[in-house]
Amino acid sequence: MIFCFLFSSFAYAEEINIKCRETTGTGRSDIFKINNPEFFWYYNNKWYELAVSKKGVAKDWEIFFLKNKIRLFNKRMEWLREIDLDKMSAYMRFPTGEFYLYKCTKLK
């Protein structure tokens, strides 16, 4: 019973790589490598681990795996991003009220 609960809370038990392209203005893209509980973000030609480690930039992030959604919150900057793996979409909200929508695709 416990085994089913652990894996039903996050349907993607295997690593997936996705690219999310911002659709509401800049066209900027982000690449993520997801393997619960690990979460990596490709930024400035470097991979950053944000979920497991509490060193470097990871100490500023809280990552929540919620069924087929992942919520990222940067405590220092108060940025909120949510990725919906079913709809393959995402949004990012800044404390200034800025709000961006993203369309995501799986990478091979």
pLDDT at 54: 83
3-state class of 88 per DSSP? coil
pLDDT at 8: 37
* Secondary element (H or E) of residue 72: strand 69-74
Burial label for 103, CB within 10 Å (0-12, 13-18, 19+), is middle
CA distance 102 to 21: 5
Residue 1: inside a domain: no
Give the mean pLDDT of the chain.
Answer: 88
Residue 56: inside a domain: yes
Summarised one tens digit per residue, pLDDT across range 9-46 is 445 568 999 999 999 988 999 999 999 999 999 999 99
Domain range holding 89?
11-107
Residue 3: inside a domain: no
pLDDT at 7: 36
Higher-pLDDT residue of 2, 93: 93
CA distance 76 to 19: 24
pLDDT at 6: 34
- pTM, two decimals, is 0.84
- Of 9, 81, 10, nearest to 41 (Cα)? 81
Residue 83: inside a domain: yes
Residue 87: inside a domain: yes
The total number of structural domains in the chain stands at 1
